[in-house]
Amino acid sequence: MSPNSSSIAIYPGSFDPITNGHLDVVRRAADVFDDVIVAVATGTSDPRKDRALFSPEERVAMIEETLAEAGVHAHADTFSGLLVDYCERRGARVIIRGLRAVSDFEYEFQMALANRQLAPDIETLFLMTSAEHLYLSSSIVKEIARLGGEISALVPPPVEARLKEKFSRSAAG
Binding site for ligand PNS (CB under 6 A): 12-14, 41, 44, 46, 82-83, 111, 114-115
Cβ neighbours, 10 Å, residue 78: 16
| DSSP category for residue 28 | H
| DSSP category for residue 91 | T
In the bound state with ligand PNS, the residue whose beta carbon lies nearer, of 100 and 162, is: 100
**How big is the chain, counted in residues?**
173
CA 76/CA 58 separation, integer angstroms: 11
Nearest to 22 by CA among 35, 39, 8: 39
In the complex, minimum distance from the CB of residue 148 to ligand PNS, in angstroms, rounded to a whole number: 25
In the bound state with ligand PNS, the residue whose beta carbon lies nearer, of 143 and 148, is: 143
In the complex, minimum distance from the CB of residue 3 to ligand PNS, in angstroms, rounded to a whole number: 29
In the complex, minimum distance from the CB of residue 169 to ligand PNS, in angstroms, rounded to a whole number: 25
In the complex, minimum distance from the CB of residue 134 to ligand PNS, in angstroms, rounded to a whole number: 16
Cβ neighbours, 10 Å, residue 66: 26
In the complex, minimum distance from the CB of residue 115 to ligand PNS, in angstroms, rounded to a whole number: 5
In the bound state with ligand PNS, the residue whose beta carbon lies nearer, of 17 and 158, is: 17
In the bound state with ligand PNS, the residue whose beta carbon lies nearer, of 31 and 107, is: 107
In the bound state with ligand PNS, the residue whose beta carbon lies nearer, of 72 and 122, is: 122
Q: 155 by DSSP, 3-state: which?
A: coil
Q: Is 71 exposed, middle or buried (0-12, 13-18, 19+ CB in 10 A)?
A: exposed
